[in-house]
Amino acid sequence: MAHTAKCKRCSSAQVVLISRKEPFCAECFCKFISLKQRKQMMSDPYFQDIFKVMYQDKVKSAEEAEKLNAESKVLVPLSLGSSSIVMLDVLNSTLAEQLETHRGKAGFHVDILVCYFEKERRDIEERLTSLFNGRLRKNKHHYKVHLVDINAFFDSSKLMRVHLQDSNYVVRYSDASSDHRADYTVDELLGTCSNRSAREDLLNVIRTATIKLFASHGSYKAVLWGHSMTRLADEIISLVVKGRASQIASSMDDTSFDETFQSSFKNLHPMRDVLLSEIDAYCHIFDLTQYTYHYTPQDTLLVERSTIPVVTGSKLTRNMTINELARQYFDNIEGNYSNVISTVVRTGAKLDDPKNNLPTVSRCRVCNNKLFKDGSEWLRQITVNHSHPIENEEDQTLYDAWTESELGKIRGEYLKLTAEMEQNGKTLSTCYGCILTLGEVRHKNVYWPESPPNLLRDALEEFVLTDDEEE
């Protein structure tokens, strides 16, 4: 029986899970995961300077060392999935160790950012309160928690109307002030998407921008993303499918400063060597499953698995988004073919930006990624968009009937809008991926911030951690 065996690493404690064909006890597994994360956190001098405790030495005075410690602020976007919670847990044990061995000193400060939809707010606050009064209790006063309403993305900036003309793939924008859309929300935008992939794509653009703008405005040194190796692999494959392959290099880049909003922080993916199944197992072993939200950690690696099957909200394949399909694929191969996952991630990390075929360096005005090619031009070359002309009376009758139908009316409205934008709009530089997504939105029309929103000014609330009674 596997579960009566002893752990190979310490040869004393009982085996609780098997990963990468090796049996682990709880403590050795915790060390195994922590070491993988800490290795990334010490991967280059920039991150070493952030995470190490600084002292006076030949080049810096005691005050300077103190200042460096105080300025080493990192931002942790917390989705309350298993990965970001485990990453925070390992970060917390690093912090606890420093505070103990350096007598109350720490080399870095962690701020936590949670983006939420109004309807989720109470549940999220409940999870955060129990996390900080539970597992993170001992050092909870070392954390600052910020909550940002996802709608701040639209609230704190002037909006423009963005429109795609589908006959030539030209994207135009115009001033939206006469549309009186001060009440435009992310929910409303997502409600106009014709499929879940477009929804997910736009939400991802909004979330990423919100986090990066927050990091940029708040002078953080680094953003720590909780992506597991599995999640990075599905991200890479999904980017290819969504026509966003040119973003792979920058999304995996942990060495350069983030350029999206002329920022002064670097991105770090400390969990890039850890499989999702390992993170989920960590959640089960250290009782973190109670804090996850909209996610159920799997117990596939555990020696003693729950007898109740874990419900994972199975969906019909045709309703799944591109990311969900990629995730399902990698979930299924994790057990026996986990080397495929690490190959995808290693290959993705080796990619460089594509050659720039444009006369200047420019960015997509929707997703803010770098542009390397004229997406509209490319689409015009590879598609035929002219319909067959009406030739006889029968054609004309059919065409008239269609014009009167629901679809025909929607098309009519769309063409009216297109004519208006052709006249009054200006061309908007847009990447290939965003052109495809705009094609999946009602009337191929959205509202979007004209310039990056000022999130710190409007949307920011610091979440005050309440103490529970029994203290």
Q: Which residues bind Zn ion (CB under 5 A)?
A: 7, 9-10, 13, 25, 28, 364, 366-367, 431, 434
Q: Nearest Cα to 164, choosing from 367, 421, 358?
A: 421
Q: Confirm if 60 and 49 have CB atoms less than 8 A apart.
A: no
For the record, the structure tokens of 331 come out as 């979930």
Look-up of token digits 């954390």: 143
CA–CA distance, 434 with 229 (Å, rounded to integer): 26
- What is the longest distance spanned by two Cα atoms in the chain? 92
Please, which residues bridge with residue 175 across strands? 160
Q: Nearest Cα to 154, choosing from 166, 146, 162, 144?
A: 162
CA–CA distance, 140 with 110 (Å, rounded to integer): 10
Helix (H, G, I), strand (E, B) or coil at 340: helix
CA–CA distance, 203 with 150 (Å, rounded to integer): 9
Q: Confirm if 88 and 127 have CB atoms less than 8 A apart.
A: no
CA–CA distance, 269 with 224 (Å, rounded to integer): 6
